[in-house]
A and B are shown apart, each in its own frame.
Chain A
Amino acid sequence: MSTDSATGSATDLGLPGLRTGTEGVPTIGEGETQTGKDFTSDQEVRWCPGCGDYAVLKAVQSFLPDLGLRRENIVFVSGIGCSSRFPYYLDTYGMHSIHGRAPSIATGIATAREDLSVWVVTGDGDALSIGGNHLIHALRRNVNMTILLFNNRIYGLTKGQYSPTSETGKVTKSTPMGSVDHPFNPVSLALGAEASFVARTIDSDRKHLTSVLAAAAAHRGTSLVEIYQNCPIFNDGAFDAIKNPDTKADAIIPLVHGEPIRFGTPLESGLGSKALVRDPAGSGVLVVDSADVDEADVLVHDAHHPDPSTAFAISRLTDSGYLNQSPIGIFRQVERATYDDQARAQITTARGGAADDDQQSRLAALIGAGDTWTVV
């Protein structure tokens, strides 16, 4: 690991043979440069004015050159939804596929080709409703790819029905008396599926978003990045509490690996007025007044802990109703063998150095094996 993201999460775990997410992907030559413009396609962007998707697109376009990868070796795959139009606006290889299935298509791409940097763009409906099965299985397999989950807590493209992340009671066209569905917390879900990299960020915080993207790309395995994304048309203001300068200090619980978790309006000391501590009575974590705890008792964020329990407990501090409080940052980042690396390694082992031009004679041996007899 060698990332220097603003999350400060990059630490060498000292494990042998670990590789970064982009290892094996060809890089641009020395002296060559790339800019955001190189990654911008000639297609007109067609989201509604003010849509949070614009900010994410800009951030990604300006971040991709930093990876230093060859543009032709980057693939974006999306499902269906407003956010899933994303690949059309990037001048890389891309596929705008079908509703919910992008993770499975990306699994095929990533497993087939080590030399590609594979990205999935999906929405809360796409990833968690119709595609929920593919999402959890991608996470458990740990296929080397980065999933950007645009969570606007609504179905945008179909014009405003509630989604699997909408709060209970939400009034939409399909729930005139309020939704009676209990929402998913995407981070909790991903942690439950044993994802090796789980993060949350916000469309409007370019710096944080970029740092999380960098860490996600550097991670080998499936990186799930939940992006809070405002839909001004059908769910405007869903994230106001964490965006409003007056409230955000109390609403955002910032997660930085190795740092004590404090937030809230700063005290005179400059430290946040609130802190996380372990719940002495149970397995969870609690939000307490900073003033009431010893420095030593404040929970220090450990994204690399092999046991996801604490990360999960932190994820439960996310409001499931209107979002007045939410942890933001990298919840978990652990090394685990990836499906695609192992699948390719089995092929390499099975091949045992057999030359490609030998295929036909080996085919003849294969089909000619077993109990045979010859008629003359």
Chain B
Amino acid sequence: MTKQVKQLDRVIIRFAGDSGDGMQLTGDRFTQESAVFGNDLVTLPNFPAEIRAPQGTLPGVSSFQVHFADHDILTAGDAPDVLVAMNPAALRANLGDLPVGATIIVDTHDFTARNLAKAGYEANPLDGDDLAEFAVHPVDLTGMTVAAVKEFGLSRKDAARAKNMFALGLLSWMYGRPTESTITFLERRFAKVPDIRDANVTAFKAGWNFGETTETFIVRYEIKPAPMAAGTYRNITGNLALAYGLVAGGVQSGLQVFLGSYPITPASDILHELSKHKSFGVTTFQAEDEIAGVGAAIGASFAGHLGVTTTSGPGIALKSEAIGLAVMTELPLLVIDVQRGGPSTGLPTKTEQADLLQAMFGRNGEAPVPIVAPRSPGDCFDAALEAARIAITYRTPVMLLSDGYLANGSEPWRIPEVSELPAIDPAFATVPNHGDGDEAEFWPYERDAETLARPWAIPGTPGLEHRIGGLEKGDGHGNISYDPANHDYMVRTRQAKVDRIAASLPPLEVDDPDGAAKVLVLGWGSTYGPIGAGVRRVRKAGYQVAQAHLRHLNPFPQDLGEILRRYDRVLVPEMNLGQLSLLLRAKYLVDVVGYNEVRGLPLKAAVLADVIGGLVAEAEGIEVDLVTSPAGTGTTDGEDDIA
């Protein structure tokens, strides 16, 4: 049969099924195939907090969205072009996100009266014309999978489990994905269970062949590789990149990494990953609770290792007192907060940015802590290295704010040359630093004139024996001091030390192509992608808007105040109720405008574009129309996201 081939510049596919259907794996494999093919891509896994919520129900639906394109893209896409739904609940849970005309591929096998009822359907939606607005392909994926793997003599249940690979095979055919990496992956993953391995590989190939031969699908799509900067790439999630960044922090500083951690979603994968890298001298200590995790990390730092602790919001709450101890003892410490929906247990598997103020102020006393935030999954690597640089150079705990979207989402990452990574000098103290000759003493709080950092003298260094602790220190000698003037001085000095970090930061990059924009959009963390995509839409429609994104949230870059004042309006989109806005208003007295959503999901580019458009209209006193764009620039086609 002849098939048509259509060119597309980008596609958003969402794989959805029951938690037990292997949708994360399916999405992940499709992503790897696309990455190897050379598309740019961004992914958005979305799964329930329960390991196995009741089968077939709406709360049990797990999905994985992948956006891939022949050009540089920034988000996982607002709305899927294609939905693969493995059961009625998956269809129902995701239908509302689909634009008119979207393609739906459903596994009809599970559309039984019972499963329809579990999903809350009174009638089979495949029968009526409820789905008339969409291009629906009902296929018995499970039935065909079971038939295809018959020869391996698996139980019906085991045979049916390979249906996700059948679906993957079909989609791989549809979008011309290379299949070798998936076959190799399956062979490796199931090496110890040959029938399961063979069944999965067979189902995968059967899905491909089904696409090739069936009349149900007559169109194949081609999405050309995206032009990318020269280099070697791999697809990477934020948590993996962060773990690699921590290993790199150890290598580049010559310090052994010591991770003290207590499992918590969505941070646990960093613990898992670092546990594999003992060959780099990395110690991973799974503590009895978050407090012990950070405590051990502080102890390790005192002993001359790079102490790290990883957690999410609830864990930070528990660690607060110990982080204060690290502030007081001025020891290097990396505190990684992979933010999730809060407060309390909140939305464990969903994303949010609502820990910024906790990171900034969540301690007793004046306890300033530098804060850095990655903007994309791959950027977690650089952010971890930057956090290590600050912690070691300035002898301070540093908070790194990632989030659930970055942690589990992935993107192609240009693998950096190790020789180009910054070197970090721990500069341990080895000799007394106060007084001369025989009288020379070691003063643990005598500071470096430039950075205000105190010396880091580790046990085992003769002559530098000293005691530190949480009680206020006398300036210089570091002995306990209750002197009012000394306390005032030390509080200010600890603040000044953190403030001085700003002197080591590059100027904030502002993307304002013609330098004529009146509106600036300023963000931090994982909103980088959606903000960038929203900005592109507005520009594509012919309007001016500037974008800047903060890596450093404490201290802010030195030029931030001046930049804010340059624009008539500053928009600050955040997945919280306005935490960065609050800090900016307080520090710079600038009337920034917040755009805030706390839905546990990334912001949408289309929504942001509208908000930006509204501000541009206000600031420039013009009408802004993002749909019918000006003079012959065509539609919004080719842009990042079209909802």
Contact = CB atoms under 8 A, between A and B. Distances in A.
A41 to B, nearest CB: 7
B459 interface: yes
* Listed residue (B298, B465, B466) with the most chain A CB atoms within 10 angstroms of its CB: B465
B277 interface: yes
B247 interface: yes
A103 B291 CA distance: 11
Interface in B403-427: 415-419
Interface in B39-69: none
Contact of B302 (A74, A101, A105, A376): A105
Contacts of A370: 234
A30 interface: no
A376 B38 CA distance: 12
B94 interface: no
Interface in A346-376: 346-347, 349-352, 354, 359-364, 366-368, 370-376
Interface residues of B, number: 72
Contacts of A91: 465
B248 interface: yes
A170 B190 CA distance: 64
A26 B295 CA distance: 26
Interface stretch (A50-58, A109-117, A299-307): A109-117
Contact of A372 (B233, B302, B419, B459): B233
Interface string A80-103: 100000011011111111100101
B460 A372 contact: no
B469 A95 contact: yes
B228 interface: yes
Given A41-B467, A105-B295, A359-B251, A93 B459 contact: yes
B324 to A, nearest CB: 8
A134 interface: yes
Interface stretch (B280-288, B572-580, B588-596): B280-288
A329 to B, nearest CB: 29
B32 A363 contact: no
A164 to B, nearest CB: 18
Interface string A41-82: 101000000000000000000000000001111110100100
A70 B464 CA distance: 12
A344 B419 CA distance: 29
A106 interface: yes
A343 interface: yes
A178 interface: no
Nearest to B461: A72
Contacts of A80: 470
A108 B321 contact: no
Nearest to A38: B465
A133 interface: yes
Contacts of A375: 38, 228-233
A115 to B, nearest CB: 6
Interface stretch (B303-311, B367-375, B533-541): B303-311
A344 B281 CA distance: 9
Contacts of B291: 101, 104, 134
Nearest to A41: B467
B288 to A, nearest CB: 4
Contacts of A43: 479-480
Contacts of B279: 347, 350-352, 354, 362
B301 to A, nearest CB: 8
Contacts of A93: 302, 459, 465-467
Interface in B248-288: 248, 251, 256, 258, 260, 277-283, 285, 287-288
Contacts of A87: 467, 469
B632 interface: no
B411 to A, nearest CB: 14
B471 interface: yes
A358 to B, nearest CB: 10
A251 B419 CA distance: 70
Contacts of B467: 41, 87-88, 90, 93-96
B295 A347 contact: no
A112 B460 contact: no
A137 interface: yes
B283 A343 contact: yes
A335 B603 CA distance: 57
Contacts of A347: 278-279, 281-283
Contact of A112 (B277, B293, B300, B465): B300
B329 to A, nearest CB: 7
Contacts of A318: none
B488 to A, nearest CB: 22
B295 A373 contact: no
A346 B36 contact: no
A362 B234 CA distance: 17
Contact of A113 (B233, B244, B303): B303
Given A77-B299, A106-B299, A372-B234, A137 B278 contact: no
A101 B244 contact: no
A107 interface: yes
Contact of B468 (A72, A95, A349): A95
Interface string A192-210: 0000000000000000000
A110 B229 CA distance: 46
B292 interface: yes
A160 to B, nearest CB: 21
Interface in B73-131: none
Contacts of B258: 108, 111-112
B554 interface: no
A43 B480 CA distance: 9
B35 interface: yes
Given A351-B281, A367-B416, A109 B470 contact: no
B460 A105 contact: no
A112 B231 contact: no
A91 B466 CA distance: 7
Contact of A105 (B38, B251, B296, B381): B296
A116 B305 CA distance: 14
A137 B296 CA distance: 12
A371 B299 contact: no
Contact of B247 (A26, A109, A133, A363): A363
Given A112-B283, A133-B288, A367-B244, A70 B462 contact: yes
Given A95-B469, A108-B303, A101 B295 contact: yes
B232 A116 contact: no
Contacts of A97: 295, 298, 325, 469-470
A278 to B, nearest CB: 35
Interface string B214-247: 0000000000000011111111000000001001
A112 B465 CA distance: 18
Residue of A91, A372, A373 with most partner-chain B CB within 10 A: A373
A94 B469 CA distance: 8
A107 B233 contact: no
B233 A373 contact: yes
B464 A360 contact: no
Nearest to A84: B469
B297 interface: yes
A110 B287 CA distance: 14
Contacts of B32: 371
B236 to A, nearest CB: 8
Interface string B458-495: 01111111111111000000011000000000000000
19 contacts: A72-B460, A74-B459, A88-B479, A95-B299, A101-B292, A104-B293, A107-B292, A108-B258, A112-B300, A116-B460, A133-B288, A133-B292, A343-B283, A344-B283, A347-B281, A363-B248, A363-B280, A371-B36, A374-B232
Interface of A: 26, 41, 43, 70-75, 77, 80, 87-88, 90-98, 101, 103-113, 115-116, 133-134, 137, 343-344, 346-347, 349-352, 354, 359-364, 366-368, 370-376
What are the 5 closest A-B residue pairs judged by CB atoms, nearest first?
Answer: A108-B299, A96-B469, A104-B295, A108-B296, A350-B278
Given A111-B296, A347-B283, A372-B234, 7 more contacts: A87-B469, A94-B468, A97-B325, A98-B325, A133-B292, A362-B280, A373-B35
